[in-house]
Structure 1
Amino acid sequence: METKWIKSFLVAAETENFRRAAEILHLSQPSITVHIGQLEDYLGVQLFERNHARVKLTPAGHHFLPEAKAILERMERSVQEVRNYAAHRKAQLTIVISPLLVETIIPHLIYQFSIENTDCDLILLVEESDKMDALLLSGKAQLAVGLLSSHNRAITSRAIHESPLQLVAPLDEYDDESGQIIEAEDLFRHYPFFTDHIATVSTSMNLLVKSHFPYARTISISQSYIVKRFIRDGLGISFLPKYIIRREMMEGRFNIVPFEKFELPTVKTYLHFINVTAEAEQLIQRIMNASLE
């Protein structure tokens, strides 16, 4: 049953004249006749009694009249609701972030953005940095924040931060004034060394540690938040980027040990995107202007 059949029926029922109905609907009279005939065939009943130029509703037509009005109203309301939805549909922004960066201020910046931009639906994915190009190129994400620079020409890649590594050890029973000076050699002899949680620097760091501390015992852990938990529990030591231990440093929950045995690398953070929407551009500027340390 088509909308044009219903409209032709309602106007013809009101005017009791197919020609007049055609004028009102800006159609030809044969079109009105065809519409009414198709509707009658569809319903399997005769809706009008034809008497030369005049027509009038049959009992079945009178019975169908309120139903036809209700059908047309529902159709028009549904069309308007769909149009309103399309006009006010929220923008969607999918952001992928490296597991290491979950420990930084970046998720908080994304949360603040979501509070201030309620017309944008945010989706946050946590994936390793080497998977971000594929997510952006497939359209599954519009923005990525990771530890690797993209070499794909279709992707814009911006370096936004470098965080120095710091040697992190468990707290002891002494305070800063009464405690003894902590030596890196003693730490590597006493504690196992947690590694492999920072893919971009772990290989080089392992070689350097082994060359300077051949007696060091290593334990491979892939997630930085587990490394932090183990250090807090007094189970080992590790090198961690400053920007993922900012809260623990403020709260005095770690020992940050001066280290001069070799030059420590920095952990670089990159922002990646392809086509920047207005919403993504706002978030990009917020992240780039923020102090991550």
Structure 2
Amino acid sequence: MDIRQLKYFVAVADARNFTRASEVLHIAQPPLSRQIQLLEEELGVQLILRNSRPLRLTEAGRTFYEQALQIINRLDQLKTATRQIGLNQQRTLSIGFVASTLYGGLPMLVRKLRQHYPDVDIQLVELTSQQQFAALTSGRIDVGFGRVRGNDATVARTILREERLVLALPPDSPLAGESSRIPFEAIHGQKLIVYPKEPRPSFADHVLSLLNDHAVRPAEIHEVREIQTALGLVAAASGICVIPASARLRSDVQYRLIDDPRITSPIIMSHRLNDTAWYIPALKEMVAAMYAENPPWLNVEHSVFPGIGAEPAVAPPVKTPRGRKKPGPV
């Protein structure tokens, strides 16, 4: 079975006559009849009642007609979309992200992209940081936003900011005092919940590495799949958890900023090495502009800006899809 046979069958079903269908298709009637016969033989069912005038479809024929029509239309859409992209009539931008970036700047960044580049089809794909590296190499995504530093030589990385980490505590924990800051060493001897359990390496490994660097030894480590589970267990007094400052999701948990500016989690933008596509400078421009606005989710006290600063610098003009030029920060 091939697409040609599907088109032949749809033409016969629409015309309800082999002669008229052959005229529409610009082929002789005998080969058209033969292709429909081969199709029925392959399926093992009769599709057309040939002894009626006009021709009628069997029950199986009606089902096959509906499905064949969808396949043909979908193929036409695929051809049109591919041609549009190839001719630069439509552009796509696939963005990979880790879930925790949704609590910070990613939603605002995507809104800005859609506002400034309305002709671009923006697709969001949830992937771990490690999965993003493979997806960039394969071309599945164009850019990724993650939290784990990788060592893939084919991927370029920009640290947008270092986000301070906080300790999530049960409300009745002795550590949940009035002070807004807590020493990292307070985790020593505590039951610690880390996430995600898999795939690895992940944010969990980043936290465990920080503990090891500071010779902090929890009494017990419990691994869970996602941050929502981790914070739920904290609320149930099953342990404590280290999370990014922007991910304070539950009101029944106490949060205390870790009193060490080195205890951070990076927000990293990754893209293919030597990629000179339009979206690289555009994204950097918008991230810097976004930070300069100091939105409510961006607590400057909880962030360090090693790469793209909070105050934007003027860069060369960037063309929008509509041909307008505007200066922007990088």
TM bucket, shorter chain: 0.5 to 0.7
Cα drift, residue 127 of structure 1: 1.3
State the match for 2:125 in structure 1: 125
Which of 207, 225, 229 aligns to 1:226? It is 229
Alignment partners' CA distance in 2, 1:144 and 1:115 = 20
Alignment partners' CA distance in 2, 1:256 and 1:230 = 14
What is the correspondence of 1:138-287 to structure 2 with a 5 Å cutoff?
Answer: 138-172=138-172, 192-197=191-196, 198-205=203-210, 207=212, 212=216, 216-245=219-248, 254-257=253-256, 265-274=263-272, 275-287=275-287
Cα 1:244–1:272 change in 2 (3 A) is: same
SS at match of 1:222: coil
SS at match of 2:222: strand
Alignment partners' CA distance in 1, 2:133 and 2:217 = 37
Structure with the higher fraction of residues in helix conformation: 1
User: Which structure 1 segments of 5+ residues have no match?
Assistant: 1-40, 45-77
Cα 1:213–1:272 change in 2 (3 A) is: closer
Q: Write the letter of the residue equivalent to 1:270.
A: I
Q: Is the 8 A contact 1:196 1:203 kept in 2?
A: no
Cα 1:283–1:232 change in 2 (3 A) is: farther
Q: Is the 8 A contact 2:230 2:241 kept in 1?
A: yes
Q: Is the 8 A contact 2:235 2:253 kept in 1?
A: yes
Cα drift, residue 147 of structure 1: 1.9
Alignment partners' CA distance in 1, 2:270 and 2:186 = 41
Cα drift, residue 193 of structure 1: 2.0
TM-score (norm 2): 0.49
Cα drift, residue 113 of structure 1: 2.3
SS at match of 2:204: coil
What is the correspondence of 1:99-118 to structure 2 with a 5 Å cutoff?
Answer: 99-118=99-118
Cα 1:254–1:109 change in 2 (3 A) is: farther
Give the paired residue count: 206
Q: Is the 8 A contact 1:106 1:287 kept in 2?
A: no
The structure with the largest alpha-carbon Rg is: 1
Cα 1:205–1:120 change in 2 (3 A) is: same
Q: Write the letter of the residue equivalent to 1:218.
A: I
Cα drift, residue 253 of structure 1: 5.0
Alignment partners' CA distance in 1, 2:225 and 2:100 = 10
TM-score (norm 1): 0.55
Alignment partners' CA distance in 2, 1:243 and 1:235 = 22
Cα 1:234–1:188 change in 2 (3 A) is: farther
Alignment partners' CA distance in 2, 1:284 and 1:90 = 22
Structure with more relative contact order (C-alpha pairs < 8 Å, separation 6 or more): 1
State the match for 1:59 in structure 2: none
Alignment partners' CA distance in 2, 1:265 and 1:219 = 20
Write the deviation string for residues 195-248 of structure 1: whole angstroms up to 9, x where unpaired.
244234232245479x6565x333112322322333345543111121323x66
State the match for 1:28 in structure 2: none
Cα 1:236–1:129 change in 2 (3 A) is: same
State the match for 2:39 in structure 1: none
Alignment partners' CA distance in 2, 1:272 and 1:238 = 27
Q: Is the 8 A contact 1:100 1:223 kept in 2?
A: no
SS at match of 1:108: helix
State the match for 2:11 in structure 1: none
